[in-house]
Amino acid sequence: MQADPIGEVRGLYAWVGEPVTAEFESAMRRWWAANEENREPGTHPDPAAFGLDLGQVRPLFAEYVTRSKDWTTH
């Protein structure tokens, strides 16, 4: 969301079949710029700091990740 907020909203609206008008996009861009100072930076903590090994965790969620692509794409 932080990297491409407008693209994410566009994707969500496309998924539910709603248009994103130029006026709406312009308002989103203004809001995003106006609220920049209040936004917390995105962080990606090291999973090892929580005792997690991604090599062991990823296989546990592999089926979910595969199926979720069917739920979130057209």
Tell me the one-letter amino acid at 39: R
> Once rounded to an integer, what is the mean pLDDT over residues 48-55?
94
Confidence of residue 37 (pLDDT cuts 50, 70, 90): confident
- Verdict on whether the full-model pTM lies above 0.85: no
Structure tokens at 35: 């609220």
Which has the higher per-residue pLDDT, 35 or 18? Answer: 18
pLDDT in tens, 10-20: 999 999 999 99
Confidence of residue 44 (pLDDT cuts 50, 70, 90): confident
Q: Where are the domains of the chain?
A: 5-72
Torsion of CA 69, 28, 17, 68, to 10 degrees: 10
